Structure 1
Amino acid sequence: MSFLDHLEQLRWHIIRALASILVFTIIAFLARGFFFETLILGPGKVDFWTYQRLCDLGRLINSEVLCIEKLPFILQSRTLTGQFTAHITYSIVIGIILAFPYTFWELWRFIAPGLNISERRVTRGAVFFVTLLFAMGILFGYYVIAPLSINFLSNYQLAESIQNEFDISSYVGSVCMIVLSAGIMFQLPMVVLFLTKVGVATPALLKHYRRHAVVIILIVSAILTPPDVISQCLISMPLFILYEVSIFISGAVLKRQEKQLAKSKKENE
């Protein structure tokens, strides 16, 4: 295929990916009762699943401290178009989250034909594992980071006379960005896997720059999450674990490549 033919093919993959985002955006916009009232506003209610499980754990260890009895804040819309703008903006964010697996699949369909047989073999299951890690990140962000961050920030007061009255855009934006950021950052093992296969990353290199990675993870977590230490730590801890898992994955990939190389040398001899 010529360069222009490749561009034409890429254009259609991008169009289909954007179309999927548009479809899910429309669904999120129309089903606002479920996506906004139930899902997005859910972590701001004391009967949310995470709070209930924390309370069950508190009863198990005879400690009522873990029971969330109230979230002392109210949501407000301080501009005339505040709610409508938030509805449109974050319907798009929800559309991106829901369409992510299909979008990645479309882009992978464009990349995969350019790989040779060995490259296709080592990248087999890429769409599945990317989708799995993304889903794990989304669930972790929604059920762990978001509710604990909301609980911490809503209960934080400089003085008793100051009431927490959050703008709807601030609340919805924080929840959506926490969830989306967690889904994206959970792709760390796949990034390391790819870099290892192209010869950029090695277990020794990852171990050598572990301290640098810790600093980078903390900085990125601070940028992507609300400005509080709790959210930053909550998203950083699983990333530290994923980084260690990535070192193991990198080592396993190198061992497999060395075995294949040794096997090919024997066959040539």
Structure 2
Amino acid sequence: MSQQDMTIYEHLEEVRKRLIIVIVFFFIAAIGGLFLAKPIIQYLQHADEAAALTMNAFRVTDPLKVYFQMAFVIGLVLTSPVLLYQLWAFVSPGLHERERRVTLSYIPASILLFLGGLSFSYFVLFPYIIHFMMKLSGDLNIEQVIGINEYFHFLFQTTIPFGFLFQLPVITLFLTRLGIVTPQLLGQIRRYAYFVLLVIAALITPPDIMSFAIVSVPLFLLYEVSVWISRIGYKKAQQTEALTAENEEKSAQ
């Protein structure tokens, strides 16, 4: 086996080990989520957004399905810091010492942004959608019969994507520090990025202009914040490279 093949094999082996760590931790977190699922489901059922709704189970297995879905989501949220750390640990050997410290600080920022995305979608977007749908049903003289499985499925479908979308600034900064993305590139693809964000907003909102605006405007702001942060990260990366090159030149002399 050549040295290059050995290096590729070692990288694949490291990826496998880190994936195993993440998967094992997820199973442990999901098991813990089984104990947390019941009080969280009960809280969400009695929150203001659902207080006026009567939850129904249309199939015998619906309560069990919701219970396990909630445990899965809890496990996913609890595993996200471990996943981010394993990703950082995999790429950190190729970074300078200062870059390793800086990128490690992205993990708590990423978690806060994920929770911020969930909070925004649950406390701002989700209530508006529910009220809109209830008002539309009243205008059409339709009596809403809410299935608990459908309700929580719609809740997860609306909130969880925002947790990941709010990661955009951190992901952009991380890719910028790795040299994969530049602020110039982000500026050039802005119109295409806006189009993709509009499609995402259309997919996760009901067909009314207010819901579409509530979703699309924050996504545009997130992208512009990402471009701004990328400029800062790119400038600091260039300064670090210049300082490193200067130190190496002094050492060589």
What's the TM-score once normalised by structure 2's chain length? 0.80
Provide the identity percentage: 30
Equivalent residue, structure 1, for 2:121:
141
| Residue ranges of structure 2 left out of the alignment (5+ in a row) | 1-5
Letter of the aligned partner of 1:104 in structure 2? L
Matched, 1:29 2:9: no
Q: Is the alpha carbon distance of 1:23 and 1:141 closer, same or farther for their aligned partners in structure 2, counting shifts above 3 Å? A: farther
What is the alpha-carbon root mean square deviation over aligned residues?
2.8
Match of 1:63 in 2: none
| Alpha-carbon contact 1:134-1:186 (below 8 Å) kept | yes
Task: Indicate the residue corresponding to 1:15 in structure 2.
Answer: 20
State the alpha-carbon separation in 2 of the partners of residues 123 and 217 from structure 1. Answer: 26
- CA 1:211–1:158 in 2, change beyond 3 Å: closer, same or farther? farther
The 1:259–1:85 alpha-carbon spacing in structure 2 relative to 1, beyond 3 Å, is closer
Q: Find the counterpart in structure 2 of residue 178 from structure 1.
A: 158
The aligned residue for residue 68 of structure 1 is: none
Shift of 1:159: 4.6
Q: 1:248 aligns with which of 191, 211, 228?
A: 228
Tell me the equivalent position of 1:66.
none
Question: Counterparts of 1:1-269 in structure 2 under 5 Å?
Answer: 3-39=8-44, 42-46=47-51, 71=52, 73-117=53-97, 119-157=99-137, 159-223=139-203, 225-229=204-208, 230-263=210-243, 268=249
Q: Bigger CA drift: 205-214 or 111-120?
A: 111-120
Shift of 1:152: 1.8
The code of the aligned residue for 1:110 comes to F
How many Å apart are 1:217 and its aligned residue? 0.7
Counterparts of 1:104 and 1:258, CA distance in 2? 25
* Closer, same or farther: CA 38–197 of 1 in aligned 2, 3 Å: same
Q: Distance in 2 between matches of 1:77 and 1:241?
A: 39
Aligned in 2, Cα 1:233/1:167: closer, same or farther, shift over 3 Å? farther
Aligned length: 243
Shift of 1:211: 2.5
SS of 2:121's equivalent in the other structure is helix
CA distance in 2, matches of 1:261, 1:30: 49
1:4-33 CA-to-partner distances (Å, cap 9, x unmatched) read: 555444334323322332233233323343
Q: How many angstroms apart in 2 are the aligned matches of 1:125 and 1:99? A: 17
The answer (yes or no) to whether the contact 2:88–2:104 under 8 Å persists in 1 is no
Higher RCO (CA < 8 A, seq sep 6+): 1
Q: CA deviation at 1:123?
A: 2.1
Question: How far apart, CA to CA, are the structure 1 residues paired with 2:246 and 2:78?
Answer: 48
**Secondary structure in 2 matching 1:201:** coil
Richer in helix (by share): 2
Cα distance between partner residues in 2 of 1:111 and 1:195: 11
Q: Distance in 2 between matches of 1:261 and 1:114?
A: 13
168-177 vs 116-125, greater mean Cα deviation? 116-125
- Change beyond 3 A, Cα 1:41–1:231: farther
Aligned with 2:137: secondary structure? coil
Task: Tell me how far apart the structure 1 counterparts of residues 92 and 246 of structure 2 sit (CA, whole Å).
Answer: 29
- Contact in 1 for aligned 2:205/2:211 (Cα 8 Å): yes
Q: Which consecutive residues of structure 1, in runs of 5 or more, have no partner in the other structure?
A: 47-70
For residues 146 and 40 of structure 1, do their structure 2 counterparts lie closer, same or farther at Cα, with a shift above 3 Å needed? farther
Query: Do the aligned partners of residues 121 and 145 (structure 1) sit closer, same or farther apart at CA in structure 2, a change above 3 Å counting?
Result: same
Cα distance, 1:112–1:167 mapped onto 2, change above 3 Å: same
Counterpart for residue 52 of structure 1? none
- The answer to whether the Cα contact below 8 Å between 2:38 and 2:67 also exists between their aligned partners in 1 is no
